[in-house]
A and B are shown apart, each in its own frame.
Chain A
Amino acid sequence: MNQKYEPKILALLCTYCTYTAADMAGSMRLQYPPNVRVVKLLCTGKVDVAYLLEAFRAGADAVMVSGCEIGDCHFLEGNLRAKERVEHAKSLLDELGLGSGRLEMFHIGASDAPKWAAAVEQMNRRALELGPNPLGRRATGPARPSEELTR
């Protein structure tokens, strides 16, 4: 690869905690890798295994999910569900050979901007160590549903 490898990192963030922390990190002028793409969710309980696999199919080098600290979920247990799903998705990534290291769950409170910056640093370092996603940057659509086929 001639071009310098800059990992593409997807971050799925809860609006009540980590998204606010990421916003605060900006206000605080904290420096962290700019190659993280943030998607704001109402709660990490919305995260599904299908989304995580789709991110890797689309070429993400690493995916981070970050919700509230344990016990602090606005919806009581959305972050706990996300934690279980991320663990399950990690096992699926291991069995298919991509490796679970590219995916991680974090718990970062709304006031914890430095923790957010550190988490991005950590995932960026990990993505650099693991190298590019072998699927590359090809634009891949989702597996086609039957409606499309019958059209």
Chain B
Amino acid sequence: MIVAKRKPFAEIVQAAEPFHRVMVVGCGTCVAVCLTGGEKEAGILAAQLDIAAQMAGRDQVFEVACVERQCDREFLDELTEAFDGCDAMLSLACGAGIQYLAERFPRTPVLAGVDTTMIGVNSAVGMWDEKCRACRSCLLTLTGGYCPIVLCPKNQINGPCGGAREGKCETDPERDCVWNLIWQRLEGSGRLEVLKSIQAPRDHSIRNLPLKQVHPAYQRRYSAHD
């Protein structure tokens, strides 16, 4: 899932300061699961902002709303009536949700309440580990399920750099060398031969432009001349 982290409180206060009625908009999917931007967190942040505003003598009202997903248009439509009269929206969704909210309500200032940090897994209660950089060319079949793009500081895709010592990375003695882990896992599953294939240099230019993806079943619907 997408993991995010709430922005520093002072930064949020400063961004919201010019507005009288601010709607704190949570998102009920990824950011709710990572305890950052769901309905409960939206309520907590609104309460914090309200107390801070009252203490500073600022005339501000903070309202709370939460939609299932801010990255889906039909859910954003639920906000149409609720947001009426608000001077700004403070979104706690990931970067995609914040942008889609701003697109849906172009006349309303949309403020970002979180920093999107990673695609990760819930490794323990309240803890997340990064697992994917959305590089668009997945190597996991060949690397025993360990991603060298995330886990190797040099992003090595054709084996270790040679700097590892006793299975630890030369950049940090606490960090496992991912190529050591890859070797061990492939050996354990009897698949070491997959390491003999050589990966071509990666095309980083594909990441310079935003991607649009259409499911094959919907190609007809979106083709220009149909």
Contacts and interface: CB of A to CB of B under 8 A. Distances in A.
Interface of A: 48-50, 53-54, 56-57, 92, 95-98, 134-135, 140, 142-146, 149-150
Given A97-B52, A134-B54, A135-B55, A143 B82 contact: no
Given A50-B43, A146-B79, A150-B82, A56 B51 contact: yes
B62 interface: yes
A57 to B, nearest CB: 6
A149 B47 contact: no
24 contacts: A50-B43, A50-B44, A50-B47, A53-B48, A56-B51, A96-B48, A96-B51, A96-B52, A98-B51, A98-B55, A134-B54, A135-B51, A135-B55, A140-B50, A143-B43, A143-B46, A143-B47, A143-B63, A144-B63, A146-B64, A146-B79, A146-B82, A149-B81, A149-B82
Contacts, number: 67
Contacts of B46: 143
Interface residues of B, number: 27
Contacts of A134: 54-55
B44 A97 contact: no
A56 B72 CA distance: 36
A124 to B, nearest CB: 22
B55 A150 contact: no
A97 B54 CA distance: 11
A150 B79 CA distance: 9
B127 to A, nearest CB: 13
A143 B47 CA distance: 7
A8 to B, nearest CB: 16
A144 B64 contact: yes
B81 A57 contact: no
A149 B89 CA distance: 15
A49 B8 CA distance: 18
